[in-house]
């Protein structure tokens, strides 16, 4: 239902799925406040003999269910429990309203803007609609106008955010936590907000000089192109970092696309999974009515000894009303059934690739190719999870671990030994030259410190918003202060970027997860696969220690099993920073 409500081409199906999601959500909310059910579980958890007889995964699932009960305030008296339920419902509504508000365009009287830039925006009578930041537009004035108009504070959205943060804090305190962040981080790899803050502050310290150099490079480029107005502003960062990459490395996507046909990329994934994990992907015929659009492809995932592991539906192509987002959905989770058979997982991978044309197959840019590998990382997590319960199947694990398998696949996608297996020109069959792969990889490191510093700023902001309440200042004053301390480019008066921060809904207090998952993926890559990306023994260890458990084992224990050591906060930071160090030597040699 979660998938159908956003991706089905038929509006009636989308509405029915929305209704199903609401009904299931309400039912789960009722079960989470069922006192008899909770008492039964509490008796089980208190019975040491019974607990000792259970396997570790069953114990963990029992504890996770208890955690769900407590979060819903089951241990409270009836009045407080009712208050917890009402807060939960209110938070759900506020999340939906806030999320809708993050995407709404802002309007401005068109006469306020200079005539020569108006055509960049949608006209609505006498008004212009600004629906985004226009970050890639070469005209500085367009980017500045878009930034100031799109991020202009909306009073309703501001009060929604304030109420959402206050309600989350009230709920957390009602059920026994000092802040919402303490509640949200229970069971994660980081475990608590103190560790997250330590991680982000140490990372920021390590990045600050590198980020300064990146900003200096961007400023010089801006000076060269716009000498009359060379101060670097927040709307310049994405644009000038892109200009620098293009100028220094000549990485026009048009040069790469012919080597990355969809067929070649899928062959590359098939070959990699086969050598690393003994797994092959086979196209299967679908039955009438099985798929929601005729361009969906169904893949059977088959292991050389174990047979069929599950199915992946590939919803890869653009179509009207399909959201432009790359994502992975679990349609059916894996679990051990009562009859001893294993229920096979079924997932959907959704991308927004162009259709093939009469003259060429579907061709992917390097970014699309990397996204395909990333989403396939999620799919393999789902396919190879062999948990007893659906509650912890595949990607249903703590947020700061969930991105590890997908980000790890990006490292494979950027390794010449892997790319060389499949990147062939669709017309001539010529392999992608090695220096083109080197240029692409080196270009990604250019200005990467500033990009990571921006992510640190977002993650710190998220922690402060979900930390101690009442907040010491307004959300906008906190934004200004945090931006100046953890990013470095000036805050622009009368803007409120936090009102567009859609991740506050799904990743409340957990935005740091992207950075921590990348750190773990980097450590796994360097220690286990950098020497030989096709090492079968390492592939088997990766499956056994990390992928097989889904969320049925504590994430840090999975990481320890893979790395054969317990990483510290410093290890996480070092892994991220070492990825940034330029490796010009190989680039110069290849050139």
Question: Which residue stretches of the chain have pLDDT < 50?
Answer: 584-591
Distance, in Å, from the CA atom of 309 to the CA atom of 178, rounded to the nearest integer, reads 43
Helices (H), 278-421: 366-384, 399-402, 404-413, 416-419
pLDDT at 582: 52
Other CB atoms within a 10 A radius of the CB of residue 83 amount to 16
pLDDT at 589: 41
- Which residues carry out catalysis? 375
Could you tell me the domains of the chain?
1-99 (no CATH), 251-431 (1.10.1370.40)
Distance, in Å, from the CA atom of 375 to the CA atom of 368, rounded to the nearest integer, reads 10
Q: DSSP for 258-287?
A: GG-BHHHHHHHHHHHHHHHHSEEEEEEPPP
pLDDT at 162: 98
Residue 28: φ, ψ to 5°? -65, -40
Q: Is the dihedral of CA 327, 331, 337, 341 positive or negative?
A: negative
Closest CA to 328 of 277, 373, 265: 373
The answer to whether residues 542 and 524 touch, using CB atoms and an 8 Å cutoff, is yes
pLDDT at 78: 86
Distance, in Å, from the CA atom of 556 to the CA atom of 519, rounded to the nearest integer, reads 13
Please state whether the predicted TM-score (pTM) of the whole model is above 0.85. yes
Distance, in Å, from the CA atom of 381 to the CA atom of 342, rounded to the nearest integer, reads 16
Type and span of the H or E element at 331 = strand 327-332
Question: Angle, to 10 degrees, between the axis of helix 448-465 and the axis of helix 237-249?
Answer: 160
Strands (E), 292-407: 297-303, 307-317, 327-332, 335-336, 342-343, 346-353
Non-local CB neighbours of 306 within 8 Å, separated by 6+ positions: none
The answer to whether residues 308 and 301 touch, using CB atoms and an 8 Å cutoff, is yes
What SS3 class is residue 127?
A: strand
């Amino acid at each position: 239902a979660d998938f159908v409500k956003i991706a089905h081409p038929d509006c009636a199906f989308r509405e029915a799925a929305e209704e199903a999601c609401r009904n299931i959500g309400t039912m789960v909310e009722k079960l989470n406040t069922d006192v008899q059910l909770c008492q039964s579980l509490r008796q089980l958890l208190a019975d040491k003999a019974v607990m000792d007889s259970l396997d570790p995964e069953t114990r963990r699932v029992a504890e996770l269910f208890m955690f769900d009960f407590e979060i819903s305030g089951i241990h409270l008296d009836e009045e407080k429990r009712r208050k917890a339920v009402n807060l939960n419902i209110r938070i759900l509504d506020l999340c939906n309203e806030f999320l809708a508000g993050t995407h709404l365009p802002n309007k401005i009287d068109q006469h306020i803007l200079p005539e020569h830039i108006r055509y960049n925006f949608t006209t609505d009578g006498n008004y212009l609609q600004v629906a985004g930041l226009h970050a890639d537009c070469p005209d500085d004035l367009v980017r500045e106008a878009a930034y100031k108009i799109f991020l202009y504070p909306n009073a309703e959205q501001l009060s929604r955010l304030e109420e959402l943060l206050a309600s989350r804090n009230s709920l957390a305190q009602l059920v026994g936590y000092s802040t919402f962040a303490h509640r949200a981080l229970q069971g994660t790899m980081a475990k608590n907000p103190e560790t997250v803050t330590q991680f982000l502050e140490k990372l920021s310290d390590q990045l600050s000089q590198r980020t300064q150099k990146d900003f200096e490079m961007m400023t010089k480029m801006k000076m060269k192109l716009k000498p009359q107005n060379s101060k670097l502003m927040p709307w310049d960062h994405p644009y000038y970092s892109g200009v620098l990459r293009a100028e220094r490395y000549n990485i026009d996507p048009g040069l790469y696309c012919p080597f990355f046909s969809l067929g070649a990329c899928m062959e590359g994934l098939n070959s990699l999974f086969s050598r690393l994990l003994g797994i092959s992907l086979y196209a299967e015929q679908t039955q009438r009515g099985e798929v929601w659009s005729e361009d969906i492809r169904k893949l059977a995932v088959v292991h050389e000894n174990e047979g069929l592991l599950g199915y992946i539906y590939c919803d890869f192509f653009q179509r009207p009303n399909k959201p432009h987002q790359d994502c992975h959905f679990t349609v059916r989770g894996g679990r051990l059934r009562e009859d001893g058979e294993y229920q096979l997982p079924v997932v959907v991978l959704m991308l927004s690739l162009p259709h093939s044309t009469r003259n060429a197959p579907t061709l992917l840019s390097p970014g699309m190719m990397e996204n395909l590998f990333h989403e396939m990382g999620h799919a393999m997590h789902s396919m190879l999870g062999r948990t007893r319960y659906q509650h912890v199947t595949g990607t249903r694990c703590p947020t700061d671990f969930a991105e590890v398998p997908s980000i790890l696949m990006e490292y494979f996608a950027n390794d010449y030994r892997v790319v060389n297996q499949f990147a062939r020109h669709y017309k001539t069959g010529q392999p992608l030259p090695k220096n083109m792969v080197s240029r692409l990889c080196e270009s990604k490191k250019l200005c990467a410190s500033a990009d990571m510093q921006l992510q640190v700023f977002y993650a710190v902001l998220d922690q402060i918003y979900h930390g101690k309440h009442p907040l010491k200042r307004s959300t906008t004053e906190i934004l200004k202060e945090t931006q100046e301390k953890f990013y470095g480019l000036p805050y622009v008066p009368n803007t409120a970027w936090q009102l567009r921060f859609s991740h506050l809904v799904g990743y409340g207090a957990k935005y740091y997860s992207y950075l921590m998952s990348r750190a773990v993926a980097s450590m796994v890559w360097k220690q286990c696969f950098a020497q030989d990306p096709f090492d079968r023994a390492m592939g088997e260890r990766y499956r056994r220690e990390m992928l097989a458990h889904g969320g049925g084992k504590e994430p840090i224990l999975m990481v320890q099993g893979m790395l054969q050591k317990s990483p510290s906060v410093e290890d996480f930071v070092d892994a991220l920073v070492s990825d940034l160090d330029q490796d010009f030597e190989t680039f110069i040699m290849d050139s």
